[in-house]
């Protein structure tokens, strides 16, 4: 197992030092650019007044919702390993929380790598199998979110450009879901095609690559049958929790906006996470909240104040959960990263 682990970890190792530096510079630049856009036209006095007048007691239930949401996400990740592996919930939960902490404080979005390394180093699962569950989890989240967006369209009045974009994304979600299910039936054929194509590329033509592809196809297969319906149901409940969290934060500011505005803001900010940015999506998140709330008549200063509090509570809750989970587990983020670097050195 150790050799397989090292072989697979080398495929997710960080880029060269020079590329990593350029990537970090890009992330910081993007965040600063979006933060400037978010602050453009804002009167700081009005922003401060909005923050000062907010009723922060509404944030207590929001934190409770986030705690329940973390447990639900860990349960869903646990289900994605079925039926081959039945991993302890505690290990899955700790790895998930550690991943969120890493995403909030480390560059290059290392959260997924951290939770993969932590789980694989302590449980009898391969990197390829674990990586496939993370990919399927992300795809499931995006597809579910796009379905929510399409269902939302009849109840909101958006600019024509936004409506057309949402419709296109909805069609892509349906096509993507269908493609994943179809591909899960073609494992042998797809692996044969992969060997034919990747066999010409020396760096990719190795067992670890084909193992990863096979596990990814197996991951798609979990979306079939009763288990798939259960995973979709848990995903919908998870997004309902995210919306509830955002709604409680909105109540703190007494936003004069319908719940559809909150849902739309959740969709827009989540899709905005695809944009490269600094850890915690600072700047990008705040600007997108102001954009999402504008069609609903929410003043920009109030929307930005809402974004600051929503993001701040989310950031502190996720980071705090990661710190506590790792402390209870008896390790730290630094130790997990050292474990990763040591294994990476072995493969070089």
- Give 243-260 pLDDT, tens digit per residue: 999 999 999 999 888 999
The pLDDT tens digits for 266-314 are: 999 988 887 777 888 889 999 999 999 998 989 999 999 999 999 999 9
Mean pLDDT of 8-21: 52
pLDDT at 210: 79
Q: Does pLDDT of 154 surpass 90? A: no
pLDDT for 344: 55
Whole-number pLDDT of residue 343: 59
The CA distance from 122 to 302, in Å, is 46
pLDDT of residue 214 exceeding 70: yes
Residue 132 has pLDDT above 50, yes or no: yes
- Residues 6 or more apart whose CB falls under 8 angstroms from that of 37 comprise 287
Would you say 321 and 97 are in contact if contact means Cβ atoms under 8 Å apart?
yes
pLDDT of residue 242: 95
Question: Is the distance from CB of 320 to CB of 58 less than 8 angstroms?
Answer: no
Q: Which residues contact 84 (CB under 8 A, 6 or more apart)?
A: 129
Look at 200 and 63; give whichever has higher pLDDT.
Answer: 63
Average pLDDT taken over every residue of the chain: 84
Q: For the chain, how big is the Rg over CA atoms in Å?
A: 21
pLDDT of residue 38: 92
131 or 200, greater pLDDT: 131
Q: Rounded to the nearest 5°, which phi and psi values hold at 275?
A: -75, 130
First-to-last C-alpha distance (Å) of the chain: 18
Per the CB < 8 A criterion, the answer to whether 60 and 251 are in contact is no
pTM metric for this prediction: 0.84
State both tokens at 333. Answer: 């983020």
Angle at 59 between CA 58 and CA 62, to 5 degrees: 105
Q: Does the pLDDT value for residue 20 go beyond 80?
A: no
pLDDT-based confidence at 18, cuts 50/70/90? low
Compute CA distances 288 → 39, 45, 273, 283, 313, whole Å: 12, 21, 10, 9, 17
Which tens digits make up the pLDDT trace of 172-195? Answer: 777 877 787 777 788 788 888 888
Please give the Cα distance from 140 to 65 (Å, whole number): 21
Confidence band, pLDDT 50/70/90 cuts, at residue 15: very low
């Amino acid at each position: 197992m150790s050799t397989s682990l090292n072989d697979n970890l080398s495929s997710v190792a960080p880029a060269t030092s020079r590329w990593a530096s350029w990537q970090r510079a890009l992330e910081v630049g993007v965040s600063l650019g979006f933060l400037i856009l978010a602050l453009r036209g804002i009167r700081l006095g009005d922003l401060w007044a909005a923050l000062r007048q907010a009723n922060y007691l509404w944030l207590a239930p929001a934190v409770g919702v986030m705690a329940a949401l973390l447990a639900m996400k860990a349960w869903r990740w646990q289900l994605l390993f079925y039926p081959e592996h039945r991993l302890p919930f505690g290990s899955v939960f700790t790895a998930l929380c550690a991943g969120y902490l890493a995403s909030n404080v480390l560059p290059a979005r290392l959260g997924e790598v951290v939770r993969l390394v932590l789980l694989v180093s302590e449980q009898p699962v391969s990197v390829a199998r674990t990586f496939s569950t993370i990919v399927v989890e992300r795809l499931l989240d995006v597809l579910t979110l796009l379905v929510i967006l399409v269902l939302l369209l009849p109840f909101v009045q958006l600019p024509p450009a936004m409506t057309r974009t949402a419709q296109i994304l909805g069609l892509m979600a349906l096509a993507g879901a269908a493609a994943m299910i179809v591909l899960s039936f073609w494992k042998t054929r797809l692996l044969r095609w992969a060997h034919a194509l990747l066999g010409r590329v020396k760096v990719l033509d190795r067992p670890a690559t084909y193992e990863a592809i096979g596990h990814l196809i197996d991951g798609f297969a979990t979306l079939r049958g009763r288990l798939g319906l259960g995973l979709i149901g848990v995903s919908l409940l998870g997004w309902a929790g995210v919306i509830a969290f955002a709604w409680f934060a909105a109540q703190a500011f007494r936003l004069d906006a319908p719940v559809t505005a909150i849902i739309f803001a959740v969709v827009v900010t989540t899709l905005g996470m695809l944009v490269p940015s600094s850890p915690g999506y600072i700047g990008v998140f705040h600007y997108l909240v102001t954009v999402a709330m504008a069609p609903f008549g929410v003043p920009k200063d109030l929307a930005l104040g809402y974004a600051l509090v929503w993001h701040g509570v989310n950031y502190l809750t996720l980071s705090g959960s990661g710190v506590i989970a790792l402390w209870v587990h008896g390790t730290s983020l630094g130790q997990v990263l050292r474990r990763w670097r040591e294994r990476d050195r072995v493969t070089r």
